[in-house]
Amino acid sequence: MDEYCCAILFWRKVGKVMTKEDLINQLKQRLSDVADKIDGFEESLINTAISHLDQLRPSIKKTTLTLSASEGSYDAPDDTIEVNRLIWQENATTQPWESNHIDAWPECFMLEGKVTLSPKPSVAQISVAGSDAVLYYHAKRQAEDLSDYEADLVLLRAMAEAMRLESIRKSNKPVQLRDGHSPNPKNATPSSLYEAFLQEFKEGCRG
């Protein structure tokens, strides 16, 4: 692993909830001599990083839906990104040889901000599976939701994005950064830092 990228991820031993302001302050500290060049863009970098984390390392939550016959659209939790799965038809206890057994069930997905079942639940389906269903969904994270490990991933991805912007602004002139772990600053070109940080972020998301 490249020397300026190793040990970027570290565990904080502070028992408090991380806020977006905390993330911004840590990002500024790590960016060292590049910090002034992203002034005013820090929140955007953090938001981009959290969004990418949501894509590669989904946060799964669950809620309960009360289904109605002939109703296919239901309110989704505010933090819903997409449906993971719906546990409903598993409630049915009928056997294949019974006359009221149902083989075909609706698909569940997000459509225009609503949890959608298509085709709509039928009276027959609700009669055998009940009206209560458990929805597992990919949830959009807020800074306060992040674990220590996820917060470090977000900072790493935000640093990568800052390096991408810096490489667009100027030539491959080396910049100096602090990785939040080593007492000595790291020097490398923005483009090489971008590639290294992004790769480390992706590997971290698989961990």
Side-chain-side CA neighbours of 140 within 13 Å: the count stands at 10
Backbone torsions φ then ψ of 7, nearest 5 degrees = 60, 25
Tokens encoding 117:
């079942």
d(CA 75, CA 116): 9
Residue 206: strand, helix, or coil: helix
Give the total residue count for the chain. 207
| Digitized pLDDT (tens) for each residue of the chain, 207 residues in all | 444 444 444 434 344 678 999 999 999 988 877 888 888 899 999 999 999 999 999 999 999 999 999 999 999 999 999 999 999 999 998 999 999 999 999 999 999 999 999 999 999 999 999 999 999 999 999 999 999 999 999 999 999 999 999 888 876 778 877 655 555 666 788 999 999 999 999 999 998
Burial profile 140-154: b = 16 or more Cβ within 10 angstroms, e = fewer: bbebebbeeebbbbb
Q: What is the pTM of this model?
A: 0.82
Which pLDDT value is given to residue 146? 95
d(CA 34, CA 77): 38
User: Please, are residues 30 and 176 in contact by the beta-carbon 8 Å criterion?
Assistant: no
